[in-house]
């Protein structure tokens, strides 16, 4: 009788161990060997021929980042209309202030990556849109970036 109880206990332990091993293998296979793909930033489709003439250049902007590094930056801002372009050109000091505001919240590590630059460009675009009663910002492109 005792031998039979031991065999049943050993069988249960063996079955539970195999089940745990299978779960571990499935989890490892799912997340370690074949990790889920990160969604890539969607490419913005812009008709350069149509909107390429409504462009504002910021010129060089130098400012400090959150982690006490400095960045030299130049942005090209594409708008959808002549009126929006004129508004941003006339208020270039506001454009630069908004760019500096976004950069002051970023670190050099963030700005060193493509996703960080894209995040900064989207944040600048969003901030500038609040100044445009007519038209909108289609695209913000970093044309120069030096981090020190």
HEC per residue, 115-145: HHHHHHHHHHHHHHHCCCCCCCEEEEEEEEE
Residue 38 predicted with pLDDT over 80: no
Q: Are 75 and 142 in contact (CB under 8 A)?
A: yes
Residue ranges covered by each domain of the chain: 1-36, 48-147
Residue 148 in 3-state DSSP? coil
Residue 9's pLDDT is: 87
**Alpha helix segments (H runs only) across the chain:** 2-28, 48-51, 82-90, 92-103, 108-111, 114-129
Pairwise pLDDT comparison (36 vs 20), residue with the higher score? 20
Residue 16 predicted with pLDDT over 60: yes
Model confidence pLDDT, tens digit, residues 114-145 = 999 999 999 999 999 988 888 889 899 999 99
- Domain 48-147 classified CATH 3.90.1150.10? no
For the full predicted model, state whether its pTM sits above 0.85. no
The owner of tokens 């489709």 is: 45
Of residues 143, 79, 53, 70, the one with CA closest to residue 106: 70
Instruction: Give the mean pLDDT of 22-30.
Output: 85
What's the gap between Cα 77 and its chain centre?
18
- pLDDT bracket for residue 44 (50, 70, 90): low
Instruction: Give the mean pLDDT of 106-114.
Output: 90
- Give the rounded percent of residues in the chain with a pLDDT score beyond 90: 50
């Amino acid at each position: 009788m005792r031998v039979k109880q031991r065999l049943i206990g050993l069988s249960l332990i063996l079955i539970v161990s195999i089940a745990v091993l299978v779960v571990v293998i499935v989890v490892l296979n799912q997340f370690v060997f074949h990790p889920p793909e990160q969604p890539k930033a969607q490419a913005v489709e812009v008709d350069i021929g149509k909107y390429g003439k409504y462009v504002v250049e910021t010129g060089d902007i130098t400012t400090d980042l959150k982690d006490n590094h400095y960045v030299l930056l130049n942005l090209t801002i594409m708008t959808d209309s002549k009126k929006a372009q004129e508004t941003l050109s006339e208020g270039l000091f506001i454009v630069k202030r908004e760019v500096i505001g976004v950069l002051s919240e970023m670190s050099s590590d963030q700005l060193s990556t493509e996703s960080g630059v894209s995040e900064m460009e989207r944040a600048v675009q969003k901030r500038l849109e609040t100044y445009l009663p007519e038209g909108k910002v289609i695209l913000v492109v970093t044309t120069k970036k030096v981090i020190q």
